[in-house]
Amino acid sequence: MSAPAPDTWQSQAAVLRTYQRLAAALAVAAALLATGLVVQSFRPAHVPYVVAVDTWGIPRRIEPLEPLTATHPRVLKAEIARFLHNLRAVVGDAGYQAELHRAAGAYLAADVRRRIEVWMTREAAVAPGQIAERHVRILSILTRPDQTYLVRWEETSFGVAATHTATWEAVLAVEEAPALDEAEITLNPLGLRITSFDAVRLTEPDP
């Protein structure tokens, strides 16, 4: 029996090297796939999307929902409105009234709290008659160029014998200082701090 020709050996060796290269490439591809699966397993399984549709139900805008990097201006204004309501509203229940004042106080820096207490005491002294209830309605909250807020609101005071309405305006400066205490988070979830508060009455109470 004769030995294989040299060309046959070389051909078989070339085929063997080809299979070895193919096996190595498949091994690398399998390793990359396994790595990708491991990385993907640590990512959220669901990515929320915002879908806007028209009145016919046809999608007009689809985009991924991204986390906010800063508090939205509307949320800040809503918190300012909440603070003013708690600060100026008057209710018939003494316990609830104390709770409103405690909630408003959670927004105030110490020096601003003292100034507001003096202001409210002075206003209460000149109020037209005894106030049984006071309703607060926010008219507008505008952002000024210096990043302070111009707030206008209306107060309707219900006295024993009459009802009076007055319009107020205030300039507020705020900053965010996230709360760490659980009780404070409940009262002031954004950690909003009123660092400046200057109010003026625009209209005198109705006679």
Q: Render pLDDT for 110-122 as a digit per residue (tens, 0 to 9).
A: 889 999 999 888 8
Confidence of residue 22 (pLDDT cuts 50, 70, 90): confident
- Coil, strand, or helix at residue 195? strand
User: Is residue 121 a contact partner of residue 57, using CB atoms and an 8 Å limit?
Assistant: no
- Inter-residue contact 85 to 138 (CB < 8 Å): yes
pLDDT digits (tens, 9 = 90+) for 176-200: 877 777 777 888 888 889 999 999 9
B/e letters for 125-162, b = 16+ CB within 10 Å, e = fewer, are: eeeeeeeeebbbebeebeeeeeebbebebebebebeee
Model confidence at 134: pLDDT above 80: yes
Residue 2 has pLDDT above 60, yes or no: no
Answer whether residue 127 shows pLDDT above 70.
Answer: no
Residue 4 has pLDDT above 60, yes or no: no
Residues 2 and 21: their CA atoms lie apart, in Å, by: 31
Could you give the percent of the chain with pLDDT greater than 90? Answer: 33
**Which is more confidently placed, 53 or 74?**
74
Whether the pLDDT of residue 90 is over 70: the answer is yes
Helices (H) and strands (E) in the chain, counts: 5, 6
- Please report the pLDDT score of residue 9 as a whole number: 67
pLDDT average, residue stretch 74-90: 92
Q: Which residues, in sequence order, are CB contacts of 84 under 8 Å at separation 6+?
A: 136, 138, 151, 153, 170
CATH topology for the 73-201 domain: Nuclear Transport Factor 2; Chain: A, (3.10.450)
The number of C-alpha atoms within 13 Å of 114 and in the hemisphere containing its C-beta is 2
